[in-house]
Amino acid sequence: MATGPSSEQVLAALNDFLDPETGRGVNAEQQARDIRVGNGRLELTLALSTHSAPLRQKTVAACAEHLKARLPGVTEVKVNLVVHPRPAEAAGQVGLKAKSVIAVGSGKGGVGKSTLAASLAWALKRAGCRVGLMDADIYGPSIPHLLGLEHQPQLDDNRKIRPADVEGMKVMSIGFMVPAGKAVALRGPMLHGIITQFLRDTDWGELDYLIIDMPPGTGDIAITLSQLLPLTGAVVVCTPQDVALIDAVRAISMFRTVNIPVLGMIENMSYFLCPDNGKRYDIFGHGGAMKQATELDVPFLGELPINIQVRINGDEGRLAANFSNADVAPLLESICTNLAEQVAANRRQQGTPLPTLSVV
């Protein structure tokens, strides 16, 4: 006769197994179901939202180990995944339906911030998340060029701005509204108005993640964002040399000053792997961002090399092609996973349901 724990015992063992999106136990919303047990083998269905898409495989593995550790006699666990529908809540007066809003910033220009912002958005989209990408780099909007976009925003029947759609990823940039080569000359109140309009009046739909490409430096935009909605956090991009790290520290200080949690640092242009001889060259030094992250108690999300094809893809508006680059794609995907894990870690620390976003 087949023996083993009952369904009730399996569910009891999952009481403290946490959903990566909410930080609460998976039993709170009946995410574990279809439990079958016999002869040391346990099979069940686990429902995870699309917000948790980058962490699905890790969550499956962790769930299996969790159950084997708590249920004597269970030696094999099979976890089948299905999508758990969990709608995003509107963000107060702004009305933004996004579960996580992440700003990508840098202390100075020229460190690859926009490339990383677009790459993170694309990596999340590839993983299965619903993603929006907002170009808030008002003075130097480069997202349209990186993605090869030519888009003229129009209003829909509800007077909402239609964003560009890149294979399901929604994109909005002031670069769509300004002729190429024309300077954008705006002061503080006008900047505030544009950012507010992009958040409130764009038809973003329901998003798991909105990635915001910030202007370099420590200007008005971060203050505006902190006033409009509580951001999930910020990612700071820098290069290894000291002058870039000094500015990155200032960017981290700025985010913390306006109460935006810092989710991590990324070291770009970390090294150069010569395609001719296979040798590695630390052109700008190496490891500075990791060292600085440790000193500032900030997670280190990963590093990316200088890569000629990445530069070519960006110049040609083919950023998505970077995910076919064997030298770069695994690193981008790892950074994306590390970012999702950091968001999940913050949820676990909070231990509460997803917050209802509201205007400060």
pLDDT tops 80 at residue 359: no
Mean pLDDT of the chain: 89
Q: How confident is the model at residue 88 (pLDDT cuts 50, 70, 90)?
A: very high
Q: How confident is the model at residue 194 (pLDDT cuts 50, 70, 90)?
A: confident
Query: How far are the Cα atoms of 73, 74, 78 from residue 40, in angstroms, in the given order?
Result: 6, 4, 11
Helix runs in 86-156, H state only: 113-127, 143-146
Residue 275 — left, alpha, or beta (φ > 0 → left; ψ -120 to 50 → alpha)?
A: alpha
Query: Quick one: pLDDT at residue 360?
Result: 25
Distance in angstroms (rounded) separating the CA atoms of residues 177 and 32: 47
pLDDT tops 90 at residue 63: yes
Could you give the count of Cα atoms lying within 13 Å of 40 in the half-sphere of its Cβ? 3
Q: Give the residue with greater pLDDT, 359 vs 352.
A: 352
Q: How confident is the model at residue 351 (pLDDT cuts 50, 70, 90)?
A: low
Distance in angstroms (rounded) separating the CA atoms of residues 64 and 74: 10
- Tell me, rounded to whole angstroms, the distance of Cα 202 from its chain centroid: 20
Contact 348/18 with Cβ under 8 angstroms? yes
Q: Which residue has the tokens 């038809």?
A: 203
What's phi and psi for 51, nearest 5 deg? -60, -30
| pLDDT tens digits, one per residue of 113-171 | 999 999 999 999 999 999 999 999 887 889 999 999 988 888 888 889 999 999 999 99
